[in-house]
Chain A
Amino acid sequence: MNGRKLAGSMIPVIPPAILIVTLTLIETVTRMEILPSLFFPPPSAIVSTLYDMTTEGELLDHLSATVLRLLTGFLLGGIPGMILGMMMGWSTAIRRILDPFVAALHPVPKISSLPIIMIIFGIGFVSRTIVVAVASFFPMLINTMAGVRQIHPIYFDVARNSGASRMQILRRVVLPGSTPFILAGVRLGLNVSLSISLAVELLLADKGIGTLIWMAWQTMRIEELYAAIVTAALVGISIRLFVQVMLDRCVPWATKART
């Protein structure tokens, strides 16, 4: 085996190695009180707090509240976003009419609309979900639109040449052709939903990972604070893995063709 090959075969081992080394380093530094353990608890302490919170505390309740909020909000905003994106991608007329509004509204930070939504819908579950929905609407719309527009025009010609109806073109060309982009939109949309869900919970919810973070901060339970952040990170990682699985299952032609 030559040197280059050996180095290549090492690559998959490197990321976990970096992780282990980093964690060990932090563990040592915090245990030796080089960093104040009040602000920087050792990783092992965070893991055991996480375990205690799962078995004895209410971590799972908070987690499911956040996941429910982010999924409801995402579906409520993402599905209309996808439908509108498909229409805007397919029809130049619809795109030209609606694009100015999308361009104007998309950059508005969605969390800033929360007070208005609260005035209209009260401070309950509805408001908290609507702001998540509004935030996930745009990534889905924009990605779906881009997904439809990047379908090569020849595919539409092929379908029309075979006498396909608009419904058939939608089902056999527009939908499958834009799926890779739609899934990218799902990933962005879910990530935005997660961020907004946490922000809403930090502000006013009585349950959720954001609430947990806030309560831990107010009572200066630093280990719980970190444990809650790790939980939020795990949700983010799950989103990524979920989308990856969907890509491999639904559009192997798009992912494998590029490698």
Chain B
Amino acid sequence: MGFQCKDLGVTYKTQNGELEALTDVSFSVRDHEFVCLVGPSGCGKSTILKLVAGLLEPTLGTIAFDTVPANGRPRNAMVFQEHGVFPWMNVIDNVAFGLEIRGVPREERRAIARRFIARVGLSHFEESHPHELSVGMRQRVSIARAFVNDPEILLMDEPFGSLDAMTKMVMTEELMGIWSRQRKQVLYVTHDIEEAIMLGDRILVMTGRPGRIREEIEIRLPRPRDLRDRDSAEIVKIKEHVWEILEEEVRSGLREGS
């Protein structure tokens, strides 16, 4: 279930006039495709996710989904960098939240939630509250909650951005494992180029504000990919290419900012 974004633009009204966050953003996500968005900070990556999620209306442009259910929008689930799990709910209630909202009876939703909690390796923590968990474990809860909703589209906003390098590597591999079993359409925001190369079928590189898609890069590496291969010639080549674009964008952003 893919979707196409066409000429998206977002303008915010601020006290100092209008702020153009996004302009002429067009791209598509195909069936079962994992697409990564990379770009300098503040370029509107997260704004694109909110548009697709329907949390924000675009000022300009349209998003067309391949199939649209009667009630409007195909089911999507968002994973945030942090603050994604409710501190006042225990793990199982957090994971079952979407099911609760849809009116799934308590015992049934807990049974479903348990399956997904097991899949992210948190079976012993079902009754724990987020403050009793590490940051990495909380992100597992977020991911389990997203998958439990059986979304057509998965939107991830730097889900591992606040993790240390080791945990991040493990979590990235786990995410690839889960995704390979349930091939959702994914739009994944990150500022980590290596991560994008490891995960994505395609990388969309964005410009600085107002954000546009500057280049699309197909990643034709076979799956499953091994994070230990990241020094291979092909990966290094892509990395250097993306980095060149980003460096240019970041530098010009700094010049404008000063």
Contact = CB atoms under 8 A, between A and B. Distances in A.
Interface of A: 152, 154-155, 157-164, 168, 172-173, 176-177, 179, 251-254, 256-257
Q: What are the nearest 5 A-B pairs in CB distance?
A: A257-B131, A176-B88, A154-B83, A162-B98, A253-B87
A52 B53 CA distance: 70
B149 A162 contact: yes
A238 B120 CA distance: 45
B129 interface: yes
Contacts of A257: 87, 131
B55 A163 contact: no
Given A158-B78, A160-B55, A253 B97 contact: no
Nearest to A175: B88
B86 A158 contact: yes
Given A172-B97, A256-B131, A257-B131, A161 B55 contact: yes
A152 B83 contact: yes
A162 B97 contact: yes
Contacts of B102: 162-163
A151 to B, nearest CB: 10
A158 B83 CA distance: 9
A162 B130 contact: no
A155 B86 contact: yes
Given A154-B83, A157-B55, A161-B53, A168 B131 contact: no
Nearest to A179: B88
B131 A161 contact: no
Interface of B: 50, 53, 55, 76-78, 80, 82-84, 86-89, 97-98, 100-102, 129-131, 149
11 contacts: A155-B83, A157-B78, A157-B80, A158-B80, A161-B53, A161-B76, A176-B89, A177-B88, A179-B88, A252-B129, A257-B131
Nearest to A256: B131
Nearest to B75: A163
Contacts of B89: 172, 176
B120 to A, nearest CB: 17
Contacts of A161: 53, 55, 76-78
A255 to B, nearest CB: 10
Contacts of B84: 154, 158
A154 B78 CA distance: 11
A173 B129 CA distance: 15
B101 A163 contact: yes
A164 to B, nearest CB: 5
Contacts of B131: 253, 256-257
A217 B153 CA distance: 75
A253 B53 contact: no
Given A154-B83, A161-B76, A179-B88, 18 more contacts: A154-B80, A155-B83, A157-B53, A158-B78, A159-B97, A161-B53, A161-B78, A162-B77, A162-B97, A162-B101, A162-B149, A163-B101, A163-B102, A172-B97, A252-B129, A253-B88, A253-B130, A256-B131
